[in-house]
């Protein structure tokens, strides 16, 4: 199925809404946040007060009415006060950074939890439509960008805004005339920052999008390194990598260029504003305290320019981080897998019953029927058309047919990995849409062609089929799957640790472990999707005997390309273009001399 771009189902319309939504996560650390805000206010007050101290210091030096000793004592007192303010600013700066770091880790903890929990609820279609690398970028690039926002950008923005507000207030107190000059000059800065922020916001969103594409491509190519080297496609892989990497480079360059240009412009403007204010201040101010007022005001101009520059820089960082946060929220807003089922599964030993909403019970027998089913992964490309089939309790049903005929799709519809567009599927007479998905899937044991083993011991991987299974249950399941012999000869037996998706086992051994995992689940219905494709014929026959004993009286669905594996099925269904064209036992289908006969005779000829 083709991959498609992740759609944002309820994307935040504006950066402010995304930022507000992110701020709501501070509810998980209210006390820490309150302490951090107090530290920010104290820090801003200390730095603003330290700048204001320049006025009395200058005035003491210029005062003519004070005795030398009194002037000296007052000057020393002011210096001590200035030192105290600087010490307070240093202490509060450390505290606010420490507190914001703690709150950041708490928020990221909850974000990762929500993101991971949400992905457990998303339908299989979602994962089929997005590469693993693209999905991992939410936990790496986007989480890291959000971390930078919470830990540094928001902290610096709060400091800058608070200090800027205090600086403006002190400017008004010192001189309305000089402040009027700053209003005109400040308007120029605000317009400049606004224009660059709009440009950088788009560029940073594009950067995050292209970063996800690069991650997805790299992850896919790394997984396929053996195939790349076998077919010597290194040059072609590089040729495919260059466009996505170049797109990321171009987006990053555009975003960084705006940021780097704005800094020097604002820096030069601050020097210009300083010079203009100094020249006009000499003309506009008069009196004994004129010198102190001008020096203090010039100090505030530097603070004003610094804070405005910091705000503009933080805006760019915030735009980058919000692009990552938007992508995370897009996943959190993606509709989860809908489950409107009311019928549940009741297990008592090996007895299974469907419990309906009214409390009535129906024995689970394994009667599965498709009634005029239509299904398509994409609306204009039907896979199954008006498909009808049945599997009676205890039957072993085999699906055969060419690639793309719809064999695996049928098993995906039985466990509702996908929902059908028309028709119905019944399980013991109950529409599968009325059965809770967890209970439906718990009644089905599956062994897939693409086996996935988790990092952990062999015993833990087998127990994954039923977490309350004992060690004896797991060993018995391994014996049924004919895996006990090779497991016993591993370095630590059942305690041997598997890693990298079972890379320290052969493909056949991995499938044996997967079959043992299905056996220990004791599911009343078993689905084998090319489960024995990597196992030799002798082992396959032993497994079939074990599975026959395990699934006695239960329904088994088998998908296989090797027709020798389905000869003893109760019914063989031949599929072609999403329809059942033949049904019968091995002998009955050979007598028909239809599609199955052609497949079987071709197999004999090839052998």
How would you class 357 by CB atoms within 10 Å of its CB: exposed for 0-12, middle for 13-18, buried for 19 or more?
exposed
Question: Bridge-partner residues for 398, per DSSP?
Answer: 558, 572
Q: Which residue has the higher pLDDT, 286 or 314?
A: 314
pTM across the whole model: 0.69
For residue 6, how many C-alpha atoms fall within 13 Å in the half-sphere facing its CB? 29
Contact 345, 442 (CB under 8 A): yes
Local structure of residue 5 (DSSP, 8 states): P
pLDDT at 605: 37
CA dihedral 433, 439, 443, 448 (to 10 degrees): 80
pLDDT at 78: 73
Minimum mean pLDDT range among 72-81, 271-280, 365-374, 384-393? 271-280
Contact 328, 18 (CB under 8 A): no
Which residue in 1, 299, 265, 279 sits closest to 129, CA to CA? Answer: 1
Q: Is the dihedral of CA 124, 125, 128, 133 positive or negative?
A: negative
Question: How does the average pLDDT of the chain come out, rounded?
Answer: 79
Local structure of residue 65 (DSSP, 8 states): S
Taking the CB of residue 538, how many other CB atoms lie within 10 A of it? 9
CA dihedral 192, 309, 161, 166 (to 10 degrees): -110
How would you class 458 by CB atoms within 10 Å of its CB: exposed for 0-12, middle for 13-18, buried for 19 or more?
buried
Q: Which residue has the higher pLDDT, 474 or 161?
A: 474
Local structure of residue 287 (DSSP, 8 states): S
Asked if pLDDT for residue 228 goes beyond 90, the answer is: no
Structure tokens at 164: 């800027």
Domains of the chain in sequence order: 15-332 (1.20.1560.10)
Asked if pLDDT for residue 173 goes beyond 50, the answer is: yes
Structure tokens at 432: 């599968």
Q: Regarding beta strands 571-576 and 396-401, do their DSSP bridges make them parallel or antiparallel, or are they unpaired?
A: parallel
Instruction: Give the pLDDT band (50/70/90) at residue 475.
Output: very high
Measured in residues, the chain has a length of: 607
Report the C-alpha gap between 434 and 345 in whole angstroms: 12
Portion of the chain with pLDDT greater than 90, in percent? 6
Residues contacting 591, CB < 8 A, separation 6+: none
Report the C-alpha gap between 351 and 336 in whole angstroms: 32
Condensed to tens digits (0 to 9), the pLDDT of residues 399-419 reads: 888 777 788 888 889 988 888
Portion of the chain with pLDDT greater than 70, in percent? 80
Through-space distance between the first and last CA atoms of the chain, rounded to whole angstroms = 32
Contact 437, 337 (CB under 8 A): yes
Minimum mean pLDDT range among 294-298, 360-364, 379-383, 487-491? 294-298
Condensed to tens digits (0 to 9), the pLDDT of residues 326-383 reads: 888 888 888 888 888 889 988 877 788 899 888 888 888 888 999 999 998 887 788 8
CA dihedral 317, 322, 328, 329 (to 10 degrees): 160
Q: State residue 31 phi and psi, 5-degree precision.
A: -60, -45
Asked if pLDDT for residue 62 goes beyond 60, the answer is: no
Which residue in 474, 471, 454, 485 sits closest to 517, CA to CA? Answer: 474
Taking every pair of Cα atoms in the chain, the longest distance, rounded to a whole number of angstroms, is 125
pLDDT at 547: 62
For residue 132, how many C-alpha atoms fall within 13 Å in the half-sphere facing its CB? 7
3-state SS, 306-329, equals HHHHHHHHHHHHHHHHHHHHHHHH
């Amino acid at each position: 199925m083709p991959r498609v771009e992740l759609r944002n189902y309820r994307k935040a319309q504006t950066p402010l809404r995304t930022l507000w939504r992110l701020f709501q996560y501070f509810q998980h650390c209210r006390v820490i946040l309150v302490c951090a805000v107090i530290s920010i206010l104290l820090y801003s007050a200390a730095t603003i007060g330290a700048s204001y101290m320049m006025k009395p210091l200058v005035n003491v030096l210029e005062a003519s009415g004070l005795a030398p000793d009194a002037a000296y004592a007052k000057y020393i007192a002011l210096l001590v006060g200035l030192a105290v303010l600087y010490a307070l600013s240093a202490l509060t700066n450390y505290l606010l950074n420490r507190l914001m770091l703690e709150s950041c880790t708490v928020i990221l903890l909850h974000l990762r939890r929500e993101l991971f929990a949400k992905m457990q609820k998303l339908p299989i279609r979602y994962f089929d439509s997005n590469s693993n690398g693209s999905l991992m970028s939410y936990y790496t690039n986007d989480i890291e960008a959000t971390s930078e926002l919470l830990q540094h950008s928001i902290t610096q923005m709060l400091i800058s805004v608070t200090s800027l507000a205090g600086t403006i207030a002190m400017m008004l107190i010192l001189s309305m005339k000089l402040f009027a000059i700053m209003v005109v000059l400040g308007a120029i800065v605000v317009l400049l920052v606004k224009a660059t922020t709009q440009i950088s916001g788009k560029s940073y969103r594009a950067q995050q999008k292209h970063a996800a594409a690069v991650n997805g491509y790299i992850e896919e190519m790394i997984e396929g390194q053996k195939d790349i080297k076998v077919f010597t496609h290194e040059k072609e892989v590089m040729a495919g990598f260059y466009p996505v990497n170049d797109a990321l480079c171009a987006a990053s360059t555009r975003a960084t260029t705006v940021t780097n240009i704005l800094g020097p412009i604002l820096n030069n403007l601050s020097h210009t504003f300083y010079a203009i204010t100094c020249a006009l201040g000499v003309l506009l101010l008069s009196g004994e305290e004129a010198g102190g007022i001008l020096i203090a005001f010039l100090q505030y101009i530097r603070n004003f320019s610094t804070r405005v520059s910091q705000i503009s820089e933080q805006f760019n960082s915030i735009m980058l981080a919000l692009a990552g946060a938007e992508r995370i929220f897009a996943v959190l807003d993606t509709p989860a897998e809908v489950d409107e089922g009311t019928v549940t599964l009741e297990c008592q030993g090996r007895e299974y019953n469907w419990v309906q909403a009214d409390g009535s019970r129906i024995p689970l027998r394994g009667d599965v029927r498709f009634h005029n089913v239509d299904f398509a992964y994409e609306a204009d490309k039907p896979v199954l058309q008006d498909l009808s089939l049945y599997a009676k309790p205890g039957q072993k049903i085999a699906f055969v047919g060419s690639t793309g005929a719809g064999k695996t799709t049928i098993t995906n519809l039985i466990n509702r990995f996908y929902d059908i567009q028309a028709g119905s599927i019944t399980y013991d007479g109950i529409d599968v849409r009325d059965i809770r998905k967890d209970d439906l899937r718990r009644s089905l044991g599956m062994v897939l062609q693409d086996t996935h083993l988790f990092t952990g011991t062999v015993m833990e991987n087998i127990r994954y089929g039923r977490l309350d299974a004992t060690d004896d249950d797991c060993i018995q399941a391994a014996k049924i799957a004919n895996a006990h012999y090779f497991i016993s000869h591993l370095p630590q037996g059942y305690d041997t640790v598997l890693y990298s998706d079972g890379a320290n086992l052969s493909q056949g051994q991995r499938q044996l472990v997967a079959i043992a995992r299905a056996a220990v689940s004791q599911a009343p219905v078993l689905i084998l999707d090319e489960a024995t494709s990597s196992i030799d014929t002798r082992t396959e026959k032993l497994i079939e005997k074990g599975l026959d004993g395990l699934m006695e009286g239960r329904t088994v669905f088998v998908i296989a390309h090797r027709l020798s594996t389905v000869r003893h099925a109760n019914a063989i269904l031949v599929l072609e273009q999403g329809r059942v064209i033949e049904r019968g036992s091995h002998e009955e289908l050979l007598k028909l001399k239809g599609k199955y006969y052609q497949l079987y005779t071709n197999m004999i000829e090839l052998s």
